[in-house]
Structure 1
């Protein structure tokens, strides 16, 4: 007799993380990576890697964000996972980047939703993340 589906290892939809790590300590970076990993595990998503932006003045087309868009073009990629909308940059840049993510057919998932004044925040799931898990942090030159 075959085991039930719940007893088989199956991989969920593929997502990539995006973090804005300008002047962030190693402990904070590790906590952010752990929050993405925990959210992915809790929502049965496969976190394939995390793109990190480390330069404050990086524009909307920075190397890490361009790398993220390239990864989103791969087959069977579901979307982007970020701790909060602020990880996409300042408000105007975050809005532009959100549009670019949606334009390639991907979803933007936030671990923690923004203030209720943000119109898109009402459809985003909130999660509390605490346990660490090893995930590749995809470093690119900005």
Structure 2
């Protein structure tokens, strides 16, 4: 009889980080890498590297993102982790990059979930309505 999974060594899922850092201080860069590292540690993920896009004028196929796509094609790679969706670039580029990540069979994990707030007017004034948006792929309990 085999032992339960909890009694066998299981390695973490392999992920790669992606940061968009245009005119960012070294302290800010270190803090963002630390946030990715901590998220991976707390969710039992193995952060195998971080790709950094520093060119604000780069399109969706920047050198850093192209490199990321190559490693996502490696066996046993689970996905990409970013601090927020904005690290994939402006909205149109981020959406395209998100589709490319999914197309290679990987997951996109975000440390911070996107904020979605919609405003409407009522008789008593503006009311902020929150609608469920995209959430983290992994909850804090996982």
TM-score range, shorter chain: 0.7 to 0.9
Query: After the TM superposition, which residues 112-123 of structure 1 pair with which residues of structure 2 at under 5 Å, given as runs?
Result: 112-116=112-116, 121-123=133-135
Query: After the TM superposition, which residues 63-78 of structure 1 pair with which residues of structure 2 at under 5 Å, given as runs?
Result: 63-78=63-78
2:136 corresponds to 1:124: yes
Query: Which residue matches 1:139?
Result: none
SS in 2 for 1:122: coil
For 1:99 and 1:31, the matched residues in 2 are separated by 27
Query: Which residue matches 1:28?
Result: 28
Q: CA deviation at 1:7?
A: 8.0
Q: Structure 2 unaligned segments of length 5 or more: list them.
A: 118-130
Query: Which residue matches 1:14?
Result: 14
With over 3 angstroms needed to count, the CA separation of the structure-2 counterparts of 1:99 and 1:120, relative to structure 1, is farther
Contact 2:113 2:135 in 1 (8 A): no
TM-score normalised over the length of structure 1: 0.79
Larger RCO (CA within 8 A; separation ≥ 6): 1
Q: Give the aligned length.
A: 125
Query: After the TM superposition, which residues 91-102 of structure 1 pair with which residues of structure 2 at under 5 Å, given as runs?
Result: 91-102=91-102
Contact 1:39 1:127 in 2 (8 A): no
TM-score normalised over the length of structure 2: 0.79
SS in 2 for 1:61: coil
Q: CA deviation at 1:114?
A: 1.2
